Amino acid sequence: MGALHPDEHIDVEGAALLNIVMAFVRRYVVLSEKAAVAVALWIVHTYAIEAAEATPYLNITSAEKRSGKTRLLEVLSLLVARPWPTPRATAAVLVRKLARGMPTLLLDESDAAFRGNREYAEALRAVLNAGWRRGGAACLLVKKGGDWLPQDFTVFGPKAIAGIGRLPDTVGDRAIAIVLKRRAPNEQVVRFRRRDAEPLAEYLREGLAQWASTNMESLRIARPDIPASLDDRAAESWEPLLAIADALGGDWPERARQAAVALSAGQEREEDSLGVRLLRDTQFVFQERRTDRLSSENLVAALNEMEEAPWGDLRGKPLDKRSLARRLRPYGIRPKQVRVGDRTLKGYMQEDFHDAWARYIPHVLYIPPKIETSETNET
């Protein structure tokens, strides 16, 4: 990658500014094209937060350590508006800081935060759940006179959360996943030295702030076209980023929508929920067995045999009949007595899954199987 210099002209009226921002990020961190597009748009979003009704979080994650998560947060701290990098803060400090000046939270080591002190983890989750939409607030007890009285603090604002593994489902559902991998030998980046990066970063910050100020009102009233493959939560998260892309012009509208579909639509997003994964895998078992009914025992056995599914090792134990029933219950699916060949067994009818399949895995084409209910199918 060629050198970037602060004396280069930046067109704050168009796409050139964001092209340079994206090049700046990729100079220090290995990112896929789609992830880099999302990160660059999100950086602009931190300056235009006043125009947004919802804010997508960045879920910066990786399978292993030393994959660039902290480095990406360091680079973001040079570029975003009002950065607040922190690995941890008490719940009270977190709420009060977010309520004062709407900083961009850059939270590192989230896996440790969510797996540590339970009270803190619950407080953090509550703040992140509330802070996704404008007007979201967290409540603290505040001493007034001789009494402690509840007071709401606004916690809405942009947040990037880095850590290994999954975020809590409710938080992950509000985030765009930026999945990093350890750098391969043929992937080159520049060694990050903050003092060397700061001059150009300062120039970029000025350009971003100027561009956002100029376009704030148009972003506020924008209603960008949303790809149909995004679910409602993803559509709300991507709306402010797509509005920015449309305002930038050039090829950014197309690049932004390609990134939105790649990062937040379809099967990869559905896999965030074990429940949805279970529904999809049960559909596969019914179709593969070409039957309209399965005993609990045989359905559990089929699920546990799936090599790439998690059912054979859930917290060190395979899925059993009791756990299957518990996981399906929230979708209105319960085991019943079913006739299989000449036997009556506890199991499931395919028709009981139809409503949940249609609601939670609509992108999967459902083809009614050829019905065969002989005992052979249950072996």
Q: What is the pLDDT of residue 9?
A: 46
Confidence of residue 314 (pLDDT cuts 50, 70, 90): confident
* DSSP secondary structure letter of residue 208: H
Q: What is the pLDDT of residue 238?
A: 96
Number of alpha carbons in the 13 Å side-chain half-sphere of residue 266: 9
Q: Of 7-16, 70-79, 88-97, 242-251, which range is least confident?
A: 7-16
Contacts of 143 (CB under 8 A, 6+ apart): 149
Task: Tell me how far apart the alpha carbons of residues 334 and 352 are, in angstroms, rounded to a whole number.
Answer: 8
Q: What is the pLDDT of residue 2?
A: 44
Residue spans of the domains in the chain: they are 16-270, 274-378
Helix (H, G, I), strand (E, B) or coil at 62: strand
- Model confidence pLDDT, tens digit, residues 11-63: 456 688 999 999 999 999 999 999 999 999 999 999 999 999 999 999 998 87
- Model confidence pLDDT, tens digit, residues 318-337: 999 999 999 999 899 999 99
Q: What is the pLDDT of residue 147?
A: 86
Task: Tell me how far apart the alpha carbons of residues 83 and 154 are, in angstroms, rounded to a whole number.
Answer: 17
- Model confidence pLDDT, tens digit, residues 203-227: 999 999 999 999 999 999 999 999 9
* DSSP secondary structure letter of residue 291: -
Tokens 């961190």, residue? 29
The tokens describing 274, both together, are 């074990």
The tokens describing 298, both together, are 């045989």
Helix (H, G, I), strand (E, B) or coil at 289: helix
Question: Which CATH topology does 16-270 take?
Answer: Rossmann fold (3.40.50)
| Residue 181 to residues 64, 69, 263, 268, 341, Cα–Cα distance (Å) | 8, 9, 15, 17, 51
Mean pLDDT along residues 228-233: 88
Q: For residue 186, count other CB atoms closer than 10 A to its CB.
A: 5
The tokens describing 291, both together, are 């039957």
Task: Tell me how far apart the alpha carbons of residues 174 and 59 are, in angstroms, rounded to a whole number.
Answer: 9
- Model confidence pLDDT, tens digit, residues 73-94: 999 999 999 999 987 777 788 8
Question: Do residues 48 and 244 touch, judged by C-beta distance below 8 A?
Answer: yes
Instruction: Report the share of the chain in percent with pLDDT over 90.
Output: 52
Helix (H, G, I), strand (E, B) or coil at 338: strand
Confidence of residue 378 (pLDDT cuts 50, 70, 90): very low
Mean pLDDT along residues 278-289: 91
Q: What is the pLDDT of residue 269?
A: 52
Give pTM, 2 decimals: 0.73
